[in-house]
Amino acid sequence: MNGAEAITEILRREGTGFLSCFPRSALIEPCAEIGIRPILCRQERVGVGMADGYSRATGGKSIGVFGSQQGPGIENAFAGVAQAYSENVPLLVIPGGAELDRQNTRPVFSAVDNFRHITKWATRIDRVEDIPRVLRRAYHLLRSGKSGPVLLEIPPSVSLAEFPGELDYTPPAPLKSAPAPGDIEAAARMLAEARSPVIFAGAGILWAGATDELVALAELLDAPVLTTNPGKSGFPETHPLSLGASAVSASRPLTEYLRDADVVFAVGSSLTASPFNPNVPAGKRIIHATNHEDDINKDQRVEQALLGDAKITLSQLKEAVGGRAAPSGERARAVRAAKTAWLAEWRDRLTSDEAPLNPYRVAHELMKLVDRDNVIVTHDSGSPREQVVPFWETTMPRSYMGWGKSTQLGHGLGLTIGAKLAAPEKTCINFMGDSAIGMVGMDIETAARNDIATLTVVFNNGMMAAERSVLKVSDEKYGTMAVGGNYAELGRALGATAFRVERPDNIVPALKDALAANKDGATVLAEFVTKENQEFSRY
């Protein structure tokens, strides 16, 4: 076998489900030959998003892989990799590269040099015999510790060179660590003695598969639980202790309970200060459980650190808290009452009969129609994120893919395609606005061409409404915020089944038709002509 075939065989042994790619990756033909399905995207950053969504939907049990040509191919992929890096998503990026004698010749683009700061590891394979060693290290890094993309640049001579001897490769197992016993004991004491503890859960809960352990500890402490946007669905939002998830917008109870907490237990989160995360108010006593030491004391003063895997940490904490806690259920009852009162404040938007349509009504009706145990939902950045994250109530781990620290428009479409490839039995939905579909809409054809039955919901309000506060003069003089299009017509032209809804009495019938077509295997685009909405759940 040659180098490309050796890499492909390693991908097969690693359980690679498909190769997202465009258009001249040396891996495409070898993958096809051994049964790894190549899926050519229309835009490279969407291809990276597909690999990203696949990794998320499998919980990292199978790693998404993206292959591209050198130069323009990997250059176009930069935004997708940057987004995955900001969310700590494990995915393998394999671009071609220039030959060794051209590496330092301008204007040759070096993926290793340019992607080093947005990957967990970036390297070039210069010798064909190094392929097993480098791939072994790549998958070790993808599976262990705080994750992120890994990039391996492959020059043509390495792809074409004959691989010597037998291919010695076994997939490396993930490594997990546990906090020191003394640290667990100190954290357990703080939690048991807290007057008003709040658990702050991040995406590490999902990657560690630690939902059951999180629920058990929350119930033992009778402690309310909030999740970050990337951590959404790590704790069931139908649970009476759930405060929901936060992007910039959040439920009123989430904001109030975090404000009033004396002890905040952050687990599976970096606690990065960001407009798109719930930020811990000053003066709180913080317990911080994370699998990476760089997160600790980065943006918050931490009183007690727990360094280790979230699942192991939560199990140890539950045992250490033990009989010190005597849960009365009082906080759970109070949280449920507070959430009920908050939702009552928003009932008029969630059930609105306005025309143009209220996007809150559209999302609310769709949530009621789907089986939330068997759905994977994501959003785009901007207004759709703020309108969906606080109100879509999740029931199962990985039934929602929250994202947005980098907030690139368009990332949600690739995520949804990748999620559907990972879980073809589930209904996979992405919400996007008219600006986001303008960025990546051509890749609806990728889903249709490959019989990937996703459902895209487009909120079309004809403008970049989130920018109203910063584009006042330019919009008044030149109409800079206005965008336009009939996206249902676009969807049909690209091979999707499409619906366009303008009247409130057509919302539910159109959603039912869209879900039925999607269940029958169609790629579906449902466009809703919505009002400009600047009402967000922010307190």
pLDDT tens-digit series, residues 435-449: 999 999 999 999 999
Quote the CA–CA distance of 537 and 389 in Å, as a whole number.
10
Of 365, 187, 364, the closest CA to residue 287 belongs to: 187
Instruction: Answer whether residue 101 shows pLDDT above 80.
Output: no
Beta-bridge partner residues of 525? 456, 498
* pLDDT in the model for residue 405: 81
Distance CA 324, CA 189 (A): 8
From the number of C-beta atoms within 10 Å of its C-beta (0-12, 13-18, 19+), residue 369 rates as middle
Mean pLDDT of the chain: 96
Second CATH level (architecture) for the domain 3-160 = 3-Layer(aba) Sandwich (3.40)
Sorted by sequence, the CB contacts under 8 Å of residue 147 that are 6+ apart come out as: 60, 88, 89, 90, 120, 141, 207
Q: Cα 152 from chain centroid?
A: 23
* Phi/psi of residue 434, nearest 5 degrees: -70, -25
Domain segments of the chain: what residues?
3-160, 181-338, 346-529
Region 319-330: mean pLDDT is 88
Nearest of 392, 337, 339 to residue 369 by alpha carbon: 392
Task: Determine the pLDDT at residue 533.
Answer: 78
* Percent of the chain's residues with pLDDT above 90: 91
pLDDT at 104: 72
Question: In which band, very low, low, confident or very high, does the pLDDT at 406 lie, cut at 50, 70 and 90?
Answer: confident
C-beta of residue 234 within 8 angstroms of C-beta of residue 405: no
> Do residues 359 and 318 lie in contact, with contact meaning Cβ atoms separated by under 8 Å?
no
* pLDDT bracket for residue 64 (50, 70, 90): very high
Q: pLDDT category, 168, cuts 50, 70, 90?
A: very high
Region 190-194 average pLDDT: 97
Query: In whole angstroms, how far apart are CA 163 and each of 24, 27, 219, 403?
Result: 21, 15, 55, 40
In CATH terms, is domain 346-529 a member of 3.40.50.970? yes
Is 346-529 in the same CATH topology as 181-338?
yes
CATH class of the 181-338 domain in this structure? alpha beta
Query: Which pLDDT score, from 0 to 100, does residue 33 have?
Result: 98
Task: Work out the pLDDT band at 107, boundaries 50, 70, 90.
Answer: confident
Distance between CA 295 and CA 278 in Å, rounded? 16
Tell me what the mean pLDDT of segment 208-216 comes to. Answer: 98
The per-residue pLDDT for 327 is 81
SS3 470: coil
The dihedrals phi and psi of 111, each to the nearest 5 degrees, come to -65, -40
Residues with Cβ within 8 Å of residue 358, at least 6 apart in sequence: 349, 352, 530, 531, 533
Strand pairing partners for 357? Answer: 530
Query: pLDDT of 276-289, one tens digit each?
Result: 889 899 999 999 99
Average the pLDDT over each of 118-122, 249-253, 266-270, 534-538 and give the range with the smallest value. Answer: 534-538
Cβ–Cβ under 8 Å, residues 220 and 332: no
Residue 370 has pLDDT above 90, yes or no: yes
Reply yes or no on whether the pLDDT at 390 is more than 80.
yes
pLDDT of residue 536: 94
Confidence label for 275 from pLDDT (cuts 50, 70 and 90): confident
> What is the average pLDDT across 76-91?
96
Confidence (pLDDT) at 532: 86
